[in-house]
Structure 1
Amino acid sequence: MKKKLQTEFNRRQYMLEKDFELYYYSDTRLDPVKSHKHDCYEFYFFMEGDIEISINETPYKVNSGDIILLPPDTNHYPHFLSWKKPYRRFVLWISMDYCNNLIKQSIDYGYLMQYVVIHKEYIFHNDTIAFNTITSMLFRLIQEMKSNRFGKQAEIKLQLNSLILHLNRIVYERKNKKNPQIERALYLNLCDFIEDHLEEDLSLERMAKEFFVSKYHISHVFKEKMGISIHQYITKKRLKVCQDAILGENSITKVYEQYGFSDYSSFYRAFKKEYGISPKDYKDMYLSLEAEKSRTIEQTQSDLMI
């Protein structure tokens, strides 16, 4: 069955499809391949063969089970050492637009790409069990691509996104070994930092610089400890101080600008979602209750004097 899923090797080095392309190759002889680069992300899943791969002029020996990720504009080419074994691999191309759209859904999709760009570490080794899981996902995806089943396009996107997330997860977990004490210290320090800087920029990028860890690690640890995203936590904290502040003499406009809301409509939606009432109605209700309380006190004092 695997033979039916094979693709004849094509030296084309650019994408024809908008989002992604996936190929399963098994070659017993190829002419030398020249150095080249792509305008997409190339995932390379090495199954068998005797090759080195040159990445930006640095040669790397490739072993069965290795995954190679090449970001856009990365020069590379394979060097065939011998043909004692067939050269078997999967090649997955994913467009930058597709990756960016995934990251908008969740930054967890972007951890691996970001890691490779920053650290220039392109090759990730896997044991047999871990690599078999990945190749099974790849074979299933190719089978779906070649099928004519109901819901084909939706299933392809689900499987592709699941594969990308799976790759991000295994690399993240290897690079961020769990240490409960360190994670608890990071989580508590993040909470303190947020509390002390609610009026300032609290982007993941800033906190990553402050704590010398990746923004993906911050997101993961915080969500695991709190059960909500760090963005949701910051919003709740800011809404609470805004709730108290608008009852004072400051205008609602000054309050929401002071605590990091870009415009009134986003502040209005967040406030109403959190408290079930608009900021203006909340302030009016408070003032009305205070006035009623004052009248009651005055009436009570008046009755006592009679």
Structure 2
Amino acid sequence: MKKKLQTKFSTRQYMLSKDFEIYYYSDKVLSPVQPHTHDYYEFYFFLEGDIDLCVDDKCYRIKHADFVLIPPGTSHNPSFINESKPYRRFVLWISKEYLNELMQISKDYGYIMQHVLITKNYVFHNDIINFNAMQSMIFSLIEEIKSERFGREAEIFLRLNSLLMYLNRIAYDHNTNKPFKTEKALYLNLCDYINEHIEEDLSLEKLASEFYVSKYYIAHAFKNNIGISIHQYIMKKRLQICKDAILGSEIISNVYRRYGFNDYSSFYRAFKKEYGISPKEYKNKYEISKNI
């Protein structure tokens, strides 16, 4: 799973950044970790492993899809139950100063921190769909951090704050017994994934393996929220990209193969059904209009 985004584990327990740091760890050699504290907020998002997490002298059995928030000054350490299993997790550090800045924008950013400080309930159990939404947001944030794209700093700010608000909403819904609309979270993340991987395999089987839910649930959630099937959505997206691409210098056969059509006849039928004109007619019509 996105090994290029992993970070080699460090025992460092202080921040190098003044705002936040985020890591994706996967360890097979597990060394004992002594109880410790730090002066920032620490989120653990558990992907795999067989551990207890001890916080303030109380140990919690942690399972996949849980996330934990450790406030500043709170003693904690993992206790490994089965050291033969890999230990995979995301770790997010947020400085007190950065949180204070966000709370100047909206107090809602600090809901989960205040909730944990008051209740001493550090562990949040999630269904797999909510957790997949978090995982998608975290990978997206890490990818942006490692990129050199235009607008990188602004995009990092937006993605981090979006993740933090999502976590606050999860905590609020847990606390008020208002279940989050998991189907909505799923279909939004499916749309993002489809847009980012439009040239790749987008079968229901592939999507189910990426989002850890059944293909039948994906089909149901998508149709309920979008109003068309996920197959129709992917087809429309691919045809739109092909329509734009064939107006360039690239030959039509290269375009339709790139975007998931196995042969010209299937592409031709889909294109004509969608736009009422064949791909070649569309290209010729555009070229004529350019020369007028």
TM-score band w.r.t. shorter chain: 0.5 to 0.7
The 2-side partners of 1:61 and 1:170 are apart by: 20
CA deviation digits over 1:200-246, x for unaligned, max 9? xxxxxxxxxxxxxxxxxxxxxxxxxxxxxxxxxxxxxxxxxxxxxxx
Task: Report whether the alignment pairs 1:147 with 2:147.
Answer: yes
* Matches for 1:79-94 after TM superposition, within 5 Å: 79-94=79-94
Q: 1:118 is paired with a residue of what secondary structure?
A: helix
CA deviation digits over 1:59-92, x for unaligned, max 9? 1110111110000000000011112321000000
The 1-side partners of 2:107 and 2:17 are apart by: 24
Q: Which residue of 2 aligns with 1:132?
A: 132
The 1-side partners of 2:30 and 2:174 are apart by: 35
Q: 2:81 is paired with a residue of what secondary structure?
A: strand
Q: Which residue of 2 aligns with 1:161?
A: 161
The 1-side partners of 2:78 and 2:49 are apart by: 11
Q: Which residue of 2 aligns with 1:122?
A: 122
Task: Specify the structure having the higher radius of gyration (Cα).
Answer: 1
Q: Which residue of 1 aligns with 2:53?
A: 53
Give the C-alpha shift of residue 176 in structure 1.
Answer: 1.4
The answer to whether the 8 Å contact 2:28/2:85 transfers is yes
The 1-side partners of 2:49 and 2:118 are apart by: 29
Q: 2:100 is paired with a residue of what secondary structure?
A: helix
CA deviation digits over 1:32-64, x for unaligned, max 9? 011111100001001100000110111111011
Q: Which residue of 1 aligns with 2:36?
A: 36
Structure 1 residue ranges (4+ consecutive) displaced by more than 6 angstroms after TM superposition: none
* Matches for 1:64-83 after TM superposition, within 5 Å: 64-83=64-83
The 2-side partners of 1:177 and 1:107 are apart by: 21
The letter of the residue matching 2:99 is C
The 1-side partners of 2:152 and 2:91 are apart by: 21
The 2-side partners of 1:13 and 1:177 are apart by: 35
Task: Report whether the alignment pairs 1:103 with 2:103.
Answer: yes
Unpaired segments of 5 or more residues in structure 1? Answer: 179-306
Give the C-alpha shift of residue 112 in structure 1.
Answer: 0.3
The letter of the residue matching 1:51 is I
The answer to whether the 8 Å contact 2:47/2:89 transfers is yes
Give the C-alpha shift of residue 153 in structure 1.
Answer: 0.5
Q: Which residue of 2 aligns with 1:9?
A: 9
The answer to whether the 8 Å contact 2:30/2:83 transfers is no
Q: Tell me the TM-score normalized by structure 2.
A: 0.60
The 1-side partners of 2:29 and 2:61 are apart by: 19
Unpaired segments of 5 or more residues in structure 2? Answer: 179-292
Q: 1:85 is paired with a residue of what secondary structure?
A: coil
The 2-side partners of 1:5 and 1:94 are apart by: 19
The letter of the residue matching 1:160 is L
The letter of the residue matching 1:156 is I
The letter of the residue matching 1:149 is R
The 2-side partners of 1:48 and 1:84 are apart by: 12
The 2-side partners of 1:102 and 1:20 are apart by: 12
Give the C-alpha shift of residue 132 in structure 1.
Answer: 0.5
The letter of the residue matching 1:16 is L
Q: 1:173 is paired with a residue of what secondary structure?
A: helix
The letter of the residue matching 1:3 is K
- Number of residues paired by the alignment? 178
Give the C-alpha shift of residue 170 in structure 1.
Answer: 1.3
* Matches for 1:286-301 after TM superposition, within 5 Å: none
RMSD: 0.9
